[in-house]
Structure 1
Amino acid sequence: MKPVFLSSPATKLFGGIFCALAIGCFVVGQPTPPAAEQSKNTFHGGIQAKNATTVPEKHKDGKHVQLDNAPPPKDPELEAYGIFRDEAPTALITHPVATALPLQLHTHDRIAFVGNTLFDRAQLFGHFEANLQSAHPDKNLLIRNLAWSADEVDLQPRPNNFATVAQHLTREKADVIFAAFGYNESFSGLEEIDTFKTRLAQALLELKSKAYNGSTAPQIVLVSPIANENTARVPAADLNNERLAAYTEAMAEVAARLQVGFANVFDATLVAMADDETDLTINGAHLNTEGYQIFADALFAATFGASAPTPDDELRTTIVDKNTQYFRRYRPLNTYYYTGDRNKSYGYLDFLPAMRNLEIMTANRDERIWAIAQGQRFGDTPIDDSNVPELDAVAESRGANEWLSPADEMAAFRIDPRFEVNLFASEEEFPEIACPITMRWDARGRLWVSCSVTYPHVYPGEKPRDKIVILEDTDNDGKADKSTVWADDIHIPLSYEFYKDGIIVSEEPHLSYIYDSDGDGKADSREYLYTGFGCEDSHHALHDFVWTPDGDLLFRESIFHNSQVETPYGPIRAKNSAWFKYSPQNQSLITFGSYPNTNPWGVTYSDWGHHVASHPVFASAFHATNPPYPEQHPRASGIPAYSGVCGHEFVDFPMWPEDLREGFLKVRYKPTNRVEIHRWVEHDDHFAEEYVSDLIFSENLSFIPVDIKYGPRGAMYICDWYNPIKGHAQYSLRDPRRDRKSGRIWRVVPKGAQLQDPPAIADASLEQLLDNLKRREYRYRYWTKRELRDTHAATDVAAALDTWVTNLDPAGERFRHHQVEAMWVYRSIGVSRPALLRELLNSENRHARAAATRQLRYTLGATGMPTMPNLAHNGLTLDEALLL
């Protein structure tokens, strides 16, 4: 079969090294053997491959069966709830008005917040809105938050055909606008302040010259950035405050010239942050709840020339509830199916009735807010949403696949005769594992499963109720016998990884840290690490979470998405799929490898740290820094690919058949459903995968394998999103046949294999943990390094690791690999050992040299380390450089 080139043979030495230094990863396409070649595949005791492009008629996917169910006629009243860029009105031009502070508000004023993450995150806390309502209890102020993470005055990426800020201001009939800008623009540097003044002036002139309320121009209050603070992990004040002060001064100058109100919150927050005892931010740049209270009071004082009132908590929590309902109306999930190119089939009934209902629910909460501001108290009495109509029924336009019980599904498997498959867990014993997506094993040998019955969408009146479930096999009989729900309020957790006392998890549009703060075995706290990731397609959002060998968290998103994320180091933007890398040590976030990529799922690392990721439909060799936003790398040519991959795992446990070892298993969910066996072949300048056979082939297309992982004793586990509805775009998001009760975990072992006892990880000594790094099994090393990072002080790990490295046997077969593992651990705890890096750069083992070269991106410029021009003299041949 044709090999999959990971780096083009024409790549020059410098280009190959540059890509490796930039991100240090590998990518693999997914080859589809032509039918003629498939017939030549060696059987190797497995199941001979079916042609990947043809499916027997009796196994035809239900989504290809059209039903004669016509959708209902469109209702003009419902159509009015659609807000689309190509047709929504924009306010007419009018005479601008000067905004003088202190600001004067009027009864029934409609207030809008626009701008960046400062206001975007504010809706999670509600402090400033509570100040406004408490100070003006008889005015019945209506407040809407239109802010968006990382927005700049003239750079505001949105989903396809999503209405502009101006169109939304027109829709909301804004009388007063608070506009927060300057933070993201400041990363252009002091030398661009004059350019920023011009950009800001143009934006303000446009904003103040429109009659959004239908009659008069708005009052405008321009809000400065807050100050940044130094935290234990991020020296944000040192990095940013000089620039932020200069940009604040520039904003004041432009506001005065254009007769726009200006609220300087930089100075007040700078003073508040002088107290080193209390952090007011989560990362030096974004406020926590205490910080938002200080910001709210400072903004109120700057706007109204008076001290803020003290609102009660019932008012604030009701405001947060109102903001939640409005956010789901303004920025719903799956916008590609609402405003974008896929709104033709189901967009009308999937979204417009929901938009109507969310507007009603938001208005109901406005009424409650006004009543509380005027002194009424409601306690635990729920808001009356009895005026919210039922959602209109959707048409079932396609067929569905057959639902089978776990036993009958098992009977539909065609299994490689060398293996045994058993049901580890299902909805029959554990109904809480319905709709499982991602599996992870913890250091105690327990299987954690993320489950989403919320997917694909949150509709009016619903709350996210997705779970993390811990499954245990306490008697080692190969079947789960204990289940614990660790969390039950997560929002579509497509992927996650363990971190400290909890998990870092995808909760579009957020990257969240959910954790157990009191040690009772249940999650009780949540922190949104970053926000602004794309939500255009809820099954393309952040996924494939994996820790790199050297301790960064890698993840990606797929096509259709627009992500723009503020960080203490500047805004991060990506369009139509990208990779992200988050470093917990300093809370940095970068993006790379952006190209138009559809449906990519599945990522792992090879023995020597090569990042191996599926790129189905359109394969890519672009693991490189991004071109200037919004440009992307083009799709690669000459690299075949196929779709439906959801995960893969290298085979490295000794009880598995020898001919499979160092190859990998792959789960696929379309066009047919199978667990595949592949070889992993190293060539001079690329790697290739070669399809061998199927380990499992299912004749029941409701079998949807979405994850695959080794367990601690060497059995392989397959996560089965069992569902008769297979497709996101092919069916209505509200199709009642979407299964929300089924979920299965399958266990695979070689026949006659003696499963091994895993090494100690949880509660193990540092010496035991470091010795685990000598194991050939990747997963043992992976779990061990996570334990080292999360449960031991960096100074203790460094001291023990120094001794461990010194005592390694240079004559050992895996000596260089042990050194590479040590190099990765050092980097993961923020410790530099240049002597070890130099030794590996000049070692006789080309894999070790390549791994060391990938580390140079963290050390270039350091004393005694090589520079870019002399990398080729560190023992790297052209072919080896291409293998970086």
Structure 2
Amino acid sequence: MLSSVRRIMLLCALVLFSESAATAQQLKLELKKGDHIAVIGNTLADRLQHFGHLEAMLHYRFPEHNLVVRDLGFSGDTLTERPRSENFGSPDQWLSKVKADVVIAFFGYNESYAGEAGLPQFRKDLEAFVDHTLAQKYNEESAPQLVLCSPMAFEDLKWPHLPDGKEQNKNLELYSGEMAKVAVDRKLPFVDLFHHSQEVMKLTSFDNSLLRNLTGQKRDRFGFEYPEKPTDGTLAFFPLTINGVHVTEDGSRMLAISFNGQLLSDRDTPQADSGKVENIRKAVLAKNHIWHNVYRATDGFSVFGGRSGLQFVDGQTNFDVMQRELEILAVMTANRDTVIWEAAQGREAKPDDSNLPKPLEVKTNKPGQLEEGRHKFLGAEEAIEKMTVHAGMKVNVFASEEQFSDLANPVQSAVDTDGRLWVAAWPTYPHWNPLEAMNDKLLILPDEDHDGVADRCITFADGLHNPTGFEFWNGGVLVAQAPDILFLKDLDGDDVADVRERIFHGLDSADTHHTANGFVMSPGGKFYFSRGIFHAENFETPWGPTKRFGTGGTGVYEWDPVTFDINFHFPIGPNPHGDTFDQWGNQFATDGTGGTGNYIGMPGHGAPRELYEKRVRPVPAIAILDSQHFPEENRGNLLIANVIGFQGVTQYKFEKQGAGFFAKEVEPILYSSDGNFRPSDMEIGGDGALYVLDWQNPIIGHMQHNLRDPSRDHLHGRVYRVTAEGRETANVVKLDKASTADVVAALGSPTLAERYRARLELTGRNPDEVVAAVNDWLKQFDSKNPEHARHLVEALWVGQQLRKHDMQLAVTLLNSKESDARAAAVRFFRDRWRDHSRISAPGLLNEFESVAGMNLHLAFDASSQVRADFVVAATHVGGPVASEIIFSAMQTEQDPQLSYVINEARGIINLDQAIRDTLARGDRLSPNAEAYALSNASVDDLLKMEKSEGVYRAILTRENVPVETLQTSLTGLAKLRNVAEIEELFTLIEELNAKASVNVLNSLSQLLASQPTDQLAKVRDRIATLATTAK
């Protein structure tokens, strides 16, 4: 419930609401009984449905109107760009589907990043949108009422990793003002959310630096504590947004009050009976939950897109079956409208779904051998007998559906900072059937007596839908649940999520097989996930206009929950699954459909070769087997799970090849002849054993079977535990309640998985305490000792993930005796410079020229990987130093990865222009730049260089050079070498003939023909020989 203090603050803000909003408030919204209201727009509109305040207020104000409200908001939408997956339906089609009498439009935020220069186009687009909307008859009878809502102000959360919004608020005010003008000109109702939210923000004092560790009774959206009373005497208030732009529950409530105050005249209505409003809101949320699964139906490519027409038994298609389910959902939504109307009248009601259409019967196209086509399932223990296990290893059942019925369709796993295995269970796969419970779950499987068998199955969170990926962060869990990423957190220690907040939007769900999966945190604290084809992502962030990625954007994405930014990271497809980092921070990814893999040596670009020789496919997951429990020959190996044909876990040993990697297949960990065995994910547990999930299903795949094929199993699921015979498992290290110093000490663990969990744990600790503990821990290590290099790198990464970069340590590591440490330090700067370049951070060029300029020797490093990483780092800044790094690396021994990186870098940094700029300044080229110029520069540029034997030879060996220029160069070269011109020329011709340089020879032949007759006579015999032997 809204506290009295916070309620007063909201009402005070309305009382103090500036006149700027009132001047634009020309018209009130007039609603009629039975009106259908559609809410459209960007992420603001999208988030409102999950709080329900605006709709609850409308029903409260008009309790007898039986209003029908449908939210059509969509992350990242603008007036002119609203991309969707195939056959999703146009905005007009959806407005017609909901029979809109009233359209409430939220636009302007993403458009405002065009600044003042984009204002005329914005007005033009807005007027076109108004004209088009008012020309429609979505209800088949009359034009809709149109309400324009401005964007909210950008909230300064005093969080150093988010924009303060000062500059963007100037743009937002301009665009809000333009919307107000259009509303007045077109006589439309207008809601000025910008000035109202700005006034509310002025009344508050909120310092997000208090998020981490202050005491108090109130907690923010992530479960962090707030102080009860600020020290400066101002009013205390929770933020209106999670990141400056996307509303919290308080922001949603504020918006509803603002809407009411500006358009419905009675400003204090929401407080009149807050209990009644809250009852209405609960009913609204129940209805919106159903509606969301109509409008944002997952598996759209099979529901209404390209695969919906695939025919199965008796010619039945997915479209046939899924359209009936959408009809069922539509009726369920309407039934919940009735509950809302009853709540608006102060009465209680429950939805009556007795009128639902019957679902279509679906016949399996792969029946089992048992009665009625059922499939046979082996018991979990019995299934082990079907496995072929690596020599010296054994398998036991850690958990199965036989002990824990909730363990059905385990799709992803992770190990928490106390060493406990967590599993995402997906019984609604491929997506929710409306006639069954939506009850996908996040489960914890603790082994409390350390006997290698789960003792309990704890439901951390239920009521999820399609949890295709998750990872721990900030003391809680990030969960991919398209179209959103959720943050879940337990506040009271009972292993049940108390916080459930949508913190990111825009994931497409056209194919739940291929939506966000494989979550992993990088050494630098960013999170990576993969997504495949058929999707249309629209990511709205606090950093700029919407980032859109269509079906071609298959690959790995980099998402930062600290800054709320996202970027495309690496292309791989068509449907990538699997992403991991080794102990030095090298990243590897695999494609599920093709079964191929790559080393990610140049983020944002591709790779010159495959990571391994592909033998199996499809691949749902990969992992690195780094555990002291296993023999040395297995440690550090790449594991790949495969689910069709070869159903098991293959194993590959890494080989360093120049700047890149190759992985050679060795003995598999295990594989099974049980056709139902489907290893879906793998983890190294707290005890050092390998845990393998088993999806356990007779059929998989969207395309091969109807989405509702009855042979799809929703009851089975196993977790198998693989151990090395005769070797002790590790003692489980518990970090959740450990001191920060003890967590930091775990960074010294010899096991990659344990160090990774320590870094995860530190994301939720006070940054200043962590930095102090890391500095204390570092005192025991010697930067000159290569055996200590990994410890120093771990310390560097912790500072990086906390955004407290230790520049001195990074520079020290650039000169480590351990090449892997040098490469890791270069990648630290690569990521730092890349991130700073994205936001045009001041001082970037100076820092780059200082650090890189003093370490140019890295371009000649003995390690090809260091050289390649240094080149990649340089591409994010550019300038003379960056060019020199590339020039230098080009003169070193090449390999496929290094050559690829250099070639890609040349597409980013114009080296030819760098040569011209140097020459234009009158500066001498460095030896490496000159070597490049001699091979690549144009003749015009070569003529500007200081004349040397190399320059003259370069001109003489270029194609299509005028004879006069060739003659000048020949004269100069012959003089330098003290050789006759005809002798020098003919020797050069003979050299080029041996290399079959035909085009150059044509030019030199013309030069030869222009030589004096007496000189030609001196080489008559050589000319005759050449005439008979020329290639």
TM-score, shorter chain, exceeding 0.5: yes
SS at match of 1:470: strand
The answer to whether structure 1 residue 835 and structure 2 residue 834 are counterparts is no
Q: Is the 8 A contact 1:702 1:722 kept in 2?
A: yes
2:358 to 390, 395, 398: 390
Match of 2:867 in 1: 881
Bigger CA drift: 448-457 or 565-574?
565-574
One-letter amino acid of the structure 1 residue matched with residue 756 of structure 2: Y
Please give the per-residue CA displacement for 1:563-620, whole angstroms capped at 9, x wherever unaligned. 2122222333222334333334x33221213647233212211111011111244557
C-alpha deviation, 1:643, in angstroms: 3.0
Give the C-alpha shift of residue 148 in structure 1: 0.8
Letter of the 2:198 partner, please give it.
L
CA distance in 2, matches of 1:595, 1:811: 38
SS of aligned partner of 1:230: coil
Partner SS, residue 65 of structure 2: coil
Aligned match of 1:429: 403
SS of residue in 2 equivalent to 1:433: coil
Query: Residues of 1 paired with 2:802 and 2:492: CA distance?
Result: 25
**Cα deviation 1:354-394 (Å, max 9, x = unaligned):** 11111211222222323332x2411xx42111111331111
Q: CA deviation at 1:552?
A: 2.0
User: Cα RMSD between the aligned structures?
Assistant: 2.6
CA-to-aligned-CA distance 1:734-785 (integer Å, 9 cap, x gap): 2222222211111111221122324553433444333322223101110111
8 Å Cα contact 2:57-2:277 kept in structure 1? no
d(CA) in 1 for partners of 2:126, 2:511: 33
Shift of 1:550: 2.0
Question: Given the superposition, is the C-alpha separation of residues 786 and 811 from structure 1 closer, same or farther in structure 2, using an over 3 Å criterion?
Answer: same
Paired with 2:102 and 2:55, the residues of 1 have a C-alpha distance of 13
8 Å contact from structure 1 (residues 684, 880) kept in 2:
no
TM-score, normalized by length of structure 1?
Answer: 0.83
Instruction: Give the corresponding residue for 1:630.
Output: none
Query: Does structure 2 retain, via aligned residues, the 8 Å contact 1:116–1:148?
Result: yes
1:9 match:
none
1:101 aligned partner: 27
Distance 1:216 1:810, change over 3 A: closer
For residues 484 and 656 of structure 1, the distance between their equivalents in structure 2, rounded to whole angstroms, comes to 29
Match of 1:223 in 2: 149
Q: Which one of the candidate residues 763, 766, 776 is aligned to 1:803?
A: 776
Which one of 585, 598, 604 corresponds to residue 580 of structure 2? Answer: 604
Farther off after superposition, 101-110 or 716-725: 101-110
Query: Aligned pair 1:273/2:215, yes or no?
Result: no
In structure 1, what residue type is equivalent to 2:727?
Answer: A
Aligned residue for 2:929? none
- Equivalent residue for 1:377? 347
The structural deviation recorded for 1:416 is: 2.0
For residue 355 of structure 1, the aligned residue among 317, 323, 326 is: 326
2:129 corresponds to: 203
Q: How does 1:221-370 map to 2 (within 5 A)?
A: 221-233=147-159, 234-238=162-166, 240-274=168-202, 275-276=204-205, 277-278=236-237, 279-307=239-267, 309-310=269-270, 312-345=277-310, 346-370=317-341
Contact map agreement 2:418 2:686 (CA 8 A) in 1:
no
Equivalent pairs: percent with the same residue? 31
Gaps of 5+ in 2: 1-24, 206-235, 271-275, 311-316, 369-374, 837-842, 873-1031
Q: Return the letter of the residue paired with 2:526.
A: D
Letter in 2 for 1:323: N
- CA 1:810/1:224 → structure 2, altered by over 3 Å: closer, same or farther? closer
- Does the Cα contact within 8 Å between 1:841 and 1:874 map onto a contact in 2? no
Shift of the 712–730 alpha-carbon distance from structure 1 to 2, 3 Å rule, reads: same
Measured in 2, the distance between the counterparts of 1:526 and 1:727 equals: 30
Q: Which amino acid aligns with 1:795?
A: D
Q: 1:11-30 counterparts in 2 under 5 A?
A: none
Q: CA deviation at 1:452?
A: 1.4
Deviating more after overlay: 232-241 vs 217-226: 232-241
Q: TM-score, normalised by structure 2?
A: 0.72
* 1:819-840 residue CA offsets vs partner (Å, 9 max, x unmatched): 1111101112221221111222
- CA distance in 2: counterparts of 1:365 and 1:484, whole angstroms: 32
**Counterparts in 2 of 1:807 and 1:563: CA distance versus 1, 3 Å:** same
Secondary structure, aligned partner of 1:658? coil
Could you say which residue in structure 1 is the equivalent of 2:386? 412
Alpha-carbon offset, residue 122 of structure 1: 0.8
Structure 1 residue identity aligned to 2:196: A
Is it true that 1:572 corresponds to 2:547 in the alignment?
yes
Q: 1:871 to 1:331 in 2, by over 3 A?
A: farther
Q: Is contact 1:849–1:876 with CA below 8 Å preserved after alignment?
A: no
Hey, what's the Cα distance between the residues in 2 that align with 1:871 and 1:186?
A: 41
Which moves more between the two structures, 871-880 or 421-430?
871-880
Query: Are 1:581 and 2:554 counterparts?
Result: no
Question: Structure 2 vs 1, CA of residues 594 and 187 (structure 1 numbering), >3 Å: closer, same or farther?
Answer: farther
How do 1:610-689 residues align onto structure 2 when only pairs under 5 Å count? 610-618=586-594, 619=596, 643-689=617-663
Native 8 Å contact 1:572 1:589 kept in 2: no
CA distance, structure 2, for counterparts of residue 636 and residue 195 of structure 1 = 43
In the alignment, is the contact (CA less than 8 A) between 1:838 and 1:865 conserved in 2? no
CA shift at 1:675, angstroms?
1.1
Over 3 Å counting, the alpha-carbon distance change for 1:420 and 1:625 in structure 2 is closer
| 1:101 and 1:304 in contact (8 A); partners too | no
C-alpha displacement of 1:673? 0.3
Q: 1:178 aligns with which of 91, 95, 104?
A: 104
The equivalences for 1:60-139 within 5 A come to 101-139=27-65
Aligned to 1:146: 72
The alpha carbon displacement at 1:863 in A equals 8.9
| CA offset digits 1:147-206 (Å, max 9, x no partner) | 111100010010101210011112222222111100111122333222222222222222
Matching residue of 2:6: none
Alignment of 1:469-480 (within 5 A): 469-480=443-454
Distance in 2, Cα, partners of 1:297 & 1:688: 60
Moved more, 359-368 or 569-578: 569-578
| Residue of structure 1 equivalent to 2:683 | 709
1:321-365 deviations in whole A, cap 9, x for unaligned? Answer: 222222211220110012211001232233111111112112222
* Alignment check: 8 A CA contact 1:580 1:589 kept: no
Contact 1:557 1:579 in 2 (8 A): yes
Cα shift at 1:527: 0.4
Across the two proteins, how many residue pairs are aligned to each other? 777
Pairwise CA distance, 1:463: 4.1
* Structure 2 counterpart of 1:866, from 834, 839, 848: 848
Q: Please say if 1:559 is aligned against 2:533.
A: yes
Q: Which amino acid aligns with 1:602?
A: G
Rate the CA distance shift 1:166–1:620 in 2: closer, same or farther, 3 A.
farther
The 1-side partners of 2:854 and 2:113 are apart by: 31
CA contact (8 A) 2:486 2:501 kept: yes
- Which is higher, the Rg of structure 1 or of structure 2? 2
Structure having the larger proportion of residues in helix: 2
> In 2, Cα distance between the equivalents of 1:813 and 1:335?
53
Aligned-pair distance for 1:636?
7.9
Cα distance in 2 for partners of 1:762, 1:104 equals 55
Tell me how far apart the structure 2 counterparts of residues 770 and 106 of structure 1 sit (CA, whole Å). 63
> For the structure 1 residues 670 and 521, does the alpha-carbon distance in structure 2 shift closer, same or farther, using more than 3 Å as the test?
same
Say which SS state the counterpart of residue 653 (structure 2) adopts: strand
Is residue 743 from structure 1 mapped to residue 725 from structure 2 by the alignment? no
